[in-house]
Structure 1
């Protein structure tokens, strides 16, 4: 850190005042100093409704200039559209101004009814092809972190440990990535992978498990910290469920949980409060916490809402509403996670349709 400025600060590009307001934390032992919130690339796709590409690019630029320096994307996000949009947006951004991570192993398929489904491929051949395609779309020679997307969907971890991870080790040796990470919804699966891997894993990405309705990630933070593994928290807003807008139709959570969260969102609306801000505040203030929290951003209004929490915390009114929704609604949630739901659907051939 240069004073209060991170290594990614670029004079003439960044808004220095905004950067100084951002909190930065080391990501494990990678040497990467990451911003408190990061850009989640799934927001640049139809997974979360319609978006305008020009507005997305403007949002990316504004986010980076404001001091956000971590970007996460994947081939699965929009069948490559997230990576492609980022490639366009980042052409005019100094490469030293950000860290970027992408993934391998989870991909889009088109179902017979024309809906979008998912497939998983952890083989060496697919992994190498995926890395090269991602770099092409991003317009880069290398990413900072290359991650295996949702390792828990493998039949067992053997192919991840014995084929995919060693292949990514070769990718790093070739200079196409700096570090290796793994991602999954299941915390026990991430823990097992770290315990068994002979390949150095520098980061884990877990999603929707450090939120207002599910704090399970808290129980595993010490395990990852002791092993110098950087922790990335995705889906602070539980993939839209903890916002006033609510979740997409494909959301895998239990219907009763979605109904309760909708009641909380409706309560927030009637009081002129955005539930998403309360959810982000919870994630940022709960300590100890992950190094970076990923936020889905596809317009500057959403960015502004989130930066407001980073810079200014919550008003007394917002804190009172947060207390209310916890007591009136969220404390009644029984099904706090959906672990195994997507994998079981895939096994039965009834995988979620996006």
Structure 2
């Protein structure tokens, strides 16, 4: 897979990355064996970029990913995790998430992520969902990441969220190497194209495009009536839009999942399309679709004419 560089950081990620929210028991329980099978399938397909976060399953995703990667040569893959939430035991003995965008909190977050992963370093650190504490993330979180990059603790820094206010607040910050856009630059909807993507381009910031199936709605050739959106039941209007896209992609001789993957990777600013998976077979299927070389120019033109994607 072609590598894409994140800004001018020198960190290069493969065109497809593996996201690990599912490793944290997102919709169903995930065993370590299954997580390892997914990572093995990704590796066999050429994927060398893996993304995780403390937020996913209260650390379980990091633990499972770390175990799955333990036998792989560390120099041969790129790893990102996120900062802004520390995991702490509350007064009842339950493990909970605690917001912390201070420099001390971010350093501690990285240390604890490495402990859960069982690895020696992160390549990329991303401010996670900074909209929840936007002022803190801008005033203390971003400068902290800059210092960590200067110290060589991480190779590249960025932000990851699906919130448009937060994306807009960070898109013109030239200190960043990358922005992970979650579900806002997809075949179904493209609000990030209005301002975030042009601002990132001007600032020299690369994109990691995540959530490109919109919670799985675009991962099916025919979106099901019970499809999810943002981890909840899909709104009727969006479901109808996805079903219309499915009809048009079929008429063009392709499928909705393949078109969704191709669209997410169209812009050269996108260094990697980050996909989750519930099984090794999903990985193999998505890689096969992403590598389909047949052009889709006619489909894009028709979708522009119908007002379903911007010109």
TM-score, structure 1 length as denominator?
0.71
Q: Which residue of 2 aligns with 1:140?
A: 119
Q: Which residue of 1 aligns with 2:205?
A: 229
Q: Which residue of 1 aligns with 2:136?
A: 159
Q: Which residue of 1 aligns with 2:5?
A: 26
Q: Contact (CA 8 Å) 1:277, 1:305: kept in 2 or not?
A: no
Larger displacement relative to structure 2 (101-110 or 177-186):
101-110
Runs of 5+ consecutive residues of structure 1 not aligned to the other structure: 1-21, 334-354
1:95 to partner: Cα distance = 0.9
> Which among 174, 186, 193 is matched to residue 218 of structure 1?
193
> Which among 250, 253, 263 is matched to residue 282 of structure 1?
263
Give secondary structure in 2 for the equivalent of 1:47: coil
Q: Contact (CA 8 Å) 1:233, 1:293: kept in 2 or not?
A: yes
1:253 to partner: Cα distance = 7.4
Q: 2: distance between equivalents of 1:145 and 1:109?
A: 23
2:290 matches 1:310: yes
Q: Against the structure 1 CA distance between its residues 249 and 221, is the aligned structure 2 distance closer, same or farther, given a 3 Å change threshold?
A: closer
> Which among 175, 191, 200 is matched to residue 168 of structure 2?
191
2:30 matches 1:51: yes
TM-score, structure 2 length as denominator?
0.79
Q: Which residue of 1 aligns with 2:179?
A: 204
2:50 matches 1:78: no
User: For the aligned residues, what is the CA RMSD?
Assistant: 3.7
Q: Which residue of 2 aligns with 1:14?
A: none
Q: 1: distance between equivalents of 2:189 and 2:88?
A: 30
Larger displacement relative to structure 2 (123-132 or 294-303):
123-132
Q: Contact (CA 8 Å) 2:126, 2:160: kept in 1 or not?
A: yes
Q: Contact (CA 8 Å) 2:217, 2:242: kept in 1 or not?
A: yes
> Which among 211, 218, 221 is matched to residue 242 of structure 1?
218
Q: Contact (CA 8 Å) 1:243, 1:265: kept in 2 or not?
A: no
Q: 2: distance between equivalents of 1:291 and 1:29?
A: 12
2:279 matches 1:299: yes
Q: Which residue of 1 aligns with 2:239?
A: 259
1:309 to partner: Cα distance = 1.5
Q: Contact (CA 8 Å) 1:48, 1:248: kept in 2 or not?
A: no
Q: Against the structure 1 CA distance between its residues 230 and 288, is the aligned structure 2 distance closer, same or farther, given a 3 Å change threshold?
A: closer
Q: Contact (CA 8 Å) 1:187, 1:217: kept in 2 or not?
A: yes
1:68 to partner: Cα distance = 1.2
Q: Deviations over 1:254-306 (max 9, x none)?
A: 622453267469979x99x864333213223x334511110002311101111
Q: Contact (CA 8 Å) 1:141, 1:176: kept in 2 or not?
A: no
Runs of 5+ consecutive residues of structure 2 not aligned to the other structure: none
Larger displacement relative to structure 2 (254-263 or 177-186):
254-263
Q: Contact (CA 8 Å) 1:212, 1:330: kept in 2 or not?
A: no
Q: 2: distance between equivalents of 1:249 and 1:234?
A: 14
Q: Contact (CA 8 Å) 1:73, 1:103: kept in 2 or not?
A: yes
Give secondary structure in 1 for the equivalent of 2:72: coil
1:87 to partner: Cα distance = 0.7
